[in-house]
């Protein structure tokens, strides 16, 4: 590293620690003065900073690289996205973590999952949590997403219009009152806490998804099945989650995963022929399963499961919101495999 960075405990105008250092790091990376892999121990801390500031990862990196803001301009942008106010609770909690202040009172973990749920989880590595969001809130979120990308559910020709916020089946929409309300679901939070077996988790600000039916002129735009983490073993524990905002049948571009793969991934990797890329295998041959569920249902899965959306062969779009919680000290494997 050939650039001098501020210490994480230094604050900026917003009063939150690590932000100045984060901005300096991104400037240095962009100017090729620093390689992100030189400071891997800060990846989780960076993600937690964005969670505290209610920022999406993609939108933040894009803003820093495209707009090239000064630190003050970056803070102004953060304030604008947050309606002018960063929750004081978030700042206080994040700064306490930086300072290793253990005064924060931890809540008792509520056992919202049954023994049957936990047995299913242990065997399959995923759960469908039914009706965590009210139907009206799902409908409002759907309207917000459709309005954002100029799609009208009553007019299929609008589903395929290009839009700068559409990246494949992903929609780069992060901040909105109804999206935040859905994220703040008490049931979702308690499920994450029980599976993590800790309450000091941070809620991310993630994007949405819009997967329209394939046609003669429109092919599936989603990613193939994949992992979002390194495959180096043993794989650190981690979770991911997706909220269905529309009723979704198995053939409607449903979220798809390989049940139980968290129990066999290490042996499977060992048995791969030398030189084989584990990320390009036929996951459907491994037992990939599309998950049908209703609007308001939440799917949570172990991040060792290969997963992804699927081609929509039905007659209406699959619309979703991604939601995740993780601890600030979450282990992230430094070596990418």
Structure tokens that stand for 286 in this block:
């491994």
Residue 242's nearest CA partner among 171, 327, 323 is 323
Residue 249 near residue 316, CB atoms below 8 Å: no
**At a CB cut-off of 8 Å and minimum separation 6, what does 185 contact?**
132, 133, 298, 323
**From CA 197, how far away is CA 187, in angstroms rounded?**
15
Tokens 């799609």 sit at which residue? 151
Structure tokens that stand for 141 in this block:
């979120």
Mean pLDDT per 10-residue section of the chain, whose length is 337 residues: 82 93 90 69 88 94 93 95 91 91 65 96 98 97 98 96 94 96 96 95 96 95 91 93 97 96 95 91 92 98 96 96 94 78
Question: Quick one: pLDDT at residue 105?
Answer: 53
- Which helix (H) or strand (E) segment is 120 a member of? helix 115-124
Going from N- to C-terminal start, the domains of the chain cover: 19-98, 115-327
**From CA 41, how far away is CA 220, in angstroms rounded?**
36
Q: What is the pTM of this model?
A: 0.91
Question: Quick one: pLDDT at residue 40?
Answer: 59
Model confidence over 294-305: pLDDT tens digits? 999 999 999 999
115-327, which class in CATH? mainly beta
Residue 6's nearest CA partner among 26, 19, 21 is 21
């Amino acid at each position: 590293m050939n650039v001098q960075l501020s210490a994480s405990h230094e604050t900026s105008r917003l009063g939150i620690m690590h932000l100045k250092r984060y901005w300096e790091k991104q400037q240095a990376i962009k100017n090729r003065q620093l390689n992100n892999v030189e400071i891997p121990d800060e990846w989780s801390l960076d993600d937690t900073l964005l969670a505290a500031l209610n920022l999406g990862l993609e939108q933040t990196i894009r803003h820093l690289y495209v707009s090239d803001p000064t630190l003050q301009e970056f803070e102004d942008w953060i304030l604008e996205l947050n309606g002018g106010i960063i929750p004081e609770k978030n700042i206080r909690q994040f700064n306490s973590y930086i300072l290793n202040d253990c005064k924060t009172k931890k809540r008792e973990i509520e056992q919202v999952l049954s023994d049957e749920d936990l047995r299913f989880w242990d065997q399959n590595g995923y759960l469908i949590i039914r009706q965590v969001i009210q139907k009206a809130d799902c409908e409002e979120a759907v309207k917000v997403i459709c309005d954002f990308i100029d799609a009208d559910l009553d007019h299929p020709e609008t589903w395929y219009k290009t839009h700068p916020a559409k990246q494949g089946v992903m929609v780069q929409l992060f901040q909105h009152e109804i999206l935040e309300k859905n994220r703040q679901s008490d049931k979702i939070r308690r499920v994450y806490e029980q599976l993590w077996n800790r309450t000091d988790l941070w809620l991310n600000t993630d994007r949405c998804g819009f997967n329209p039916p394939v046609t003669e002129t429109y092919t599936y735009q989603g990613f193939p099945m994949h992992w979002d983490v390194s495959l180096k073993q043993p794989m650190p524990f981690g979770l991911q989650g997706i909220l269905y905002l529309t009723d979704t049948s198995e053939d409607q571009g449903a979220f798809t995963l390989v049940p139980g793969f968290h129990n066999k991934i290490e042996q499977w990797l060992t048995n791969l022929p030398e030189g084989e890329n584990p990320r390009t295998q036929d996951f459907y041959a491994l037992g990939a399963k599309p998950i049908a569920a209703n609007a308001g249902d939440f799917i949570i899965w172990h991040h060792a499961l290969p997963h992804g959306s699927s081609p929509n062969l039905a007659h209406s779009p699959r619309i979703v919101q991604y939601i995740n919680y993780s601890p600030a000290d979450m282990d992230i494997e430094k070596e990418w495999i």
